[in-house]
Amino acid sequence: MHTTTMTRVTSLIGATLLGLTTLQASAAPEIPPIPAVQGDVVQAEGDFKIKFSIGTTQSGAQYRGLEYFEKIVEQRSDGHIQVELFHSAQLGDDLQAVSNLQSGTLEMTAPSTSPLVGMFPEFAVFDLPFLFPTPEVADTVLDGEIGQKMLDDASRQGLVAIGWAENGYRQLTNSATPVTSPDDLDGLKIRTMQNDIHLDIWRTLGANPTPMSFAELFTALEQGVVDGQENPWITIEASKFIEVQDYASETNHVYTPFITLVSERFWNRLPAGYQQLVRDAAKQMGDYEREVSRTLNDQIKQQLKQSGMQITELTPEQVEVFQEKLAPVYDDWRDEIGGELIDAIRKASQ
């Protein structure tokens, strides 16, 4: 092929590539900027270091929240508290990070509540399917009396629970088939969090669930150990599951919160002024993280579609089929979780 056509072809390819990247770039999610720090500098004795480690990746909404937390604490302590952030389970997955807090080798983490149900059975209420009809109802419950009591009750076993943030509504993905009804799940190997209610949910729907740490999930999907998994769109995108999952169904089947935990050993060393500062910063982090999570949720779903993931948006009738099939899960767990708590949360949804 002689040169002129060569250059024309290459410039053509160049142009298309440029077009694509700008499309991708133009589709880049608009993340709410990290807010300015509110509040005065807190005067207190001593210098401290906080290592704050999470299991989700650096490009997720949760890590943005941590960056805001770091900014608040360092500015309002006038540098006397230094914060170092870790992501992608660099300092251990949810359960390892929690035990590092108990032993005092790590100062803070913010896991999902689901893997902690073994330690805090009351958290199981959050794993009940279709419990929170909207994120706002979740906020009402978590920021209200119920949420505060749960934080107080979870401040034991060497931990201090100081706030909530949002992992979000979970969506099913898999590498085998589009899923529009429970019948399509027959025999599908689905990874769940290490949580008996989630195992019950996917067994009840007819799938073949396997509990597994989040840190092992991508490799298990890549190697076909499991066919599918379920997480919020932001986590699906940030964890690059599109590389190993072709299909997704917008099930919104469970709303998972993150809980902000501090090592009690570290907490007891902090002067009261700095304890209040860390508590305030955790609240502001949670509110900002929720804003990022909700702003990104639909944008990320569109971006996954643009990038080739086949997403099924279930009709209300199709969602109802899942809800009816999962109704027995409430009977299975009512006594263990406590009917009073379930009814109180359901009341908050009315």
By CB under 6 A, name the binding residues for ligand KDG. 54-56, 94, 111-112, 115, 167, 193, 214, 231, 235, 256
Q: Please, what is the minimum distance in Å from the beta carbon of residue 158 to ligand KDG?
A: 19
Three-state secondary structure call for residue 189: strand
Of 119 and 321, the one with the shorter C-beta distance to ligand KDG is 119
Find the helix or strand (DSSP H, E) in which 209 lies: strand 208-211
Of 115 and 228, the one with the shorter C-beta distance to ligand KDG is 115
Q: Please, what is the minimum distance in Å from the beta carbon of residue 87 to ligand KDG?
A: 9
Tell me the β-bridge partners of 257. 166
Residue 104 and residue 263 in contact, taking contact as beta carbons nearer than 8 Å: yes
Residue 123 and residue 138 in contact, taking contact as beta carbons nearer than 8 Å: no
Strand order in the sheet with 255-263: 81-86, 48-53, 108-109, 255-263, 159-169
Q: Please, what is the minimum distance in Å from the beta carbon of residue 118 to ligand KDG?
A: 14
Of 48 and 214, the one with the shorter C-beta distance to ligand KDG is 214
Two structure tokens written together for 56: 């989700």
Q: Please, what is the minimum distance in Å from the beta carbon of residue 62 to ligand KDG?
A: 8
Q: Please, what is the minimum distance in Å from the beta carbon of residue 96 to ligand KDG?
A: 10
Of 126 and 288, the one with the shorter C-beta distance to ligand KDG is 126
Three-state secondary structure call for residue 23: helix
Q: Which of 116, 120, 82 is nearest to 97 (CA)?
A: 116
Of 44 and 193, the one with the shorter C-beta distance to ligand KDG is 193
Q: Give me the residue whose beta carbon is nearest to ligand KDG.
A: 55
Reported for 304-307, long-range contacts at CB under 8 A and 24+ positions apart, including other chains, are 304/233, 304/236, 304/237, 304/242, 304/248, 306/23, 306/24, 306/27, 307/24, 307/242
Q: Please, what is the minimum distance in Å from the beta carbon of residue 15 to ligand KDG?
A: 40
Of 193 and 304, the one with the shorter C-beta distance to ligand KDG is 193
Residue positions counted in the chain:
350
53 φ, ψ (degrees, to nearest 5): -120, 140
Q: Please, what is the minimum distance in Å from the beta carbon of residue 105 to ligand KDG?
A: 18
Of 89 and 345, the one with the shorter C-beta distance to ligand KDG is 89
The rounded Cα 122 to chain-centroid distance in angstroms is: 19
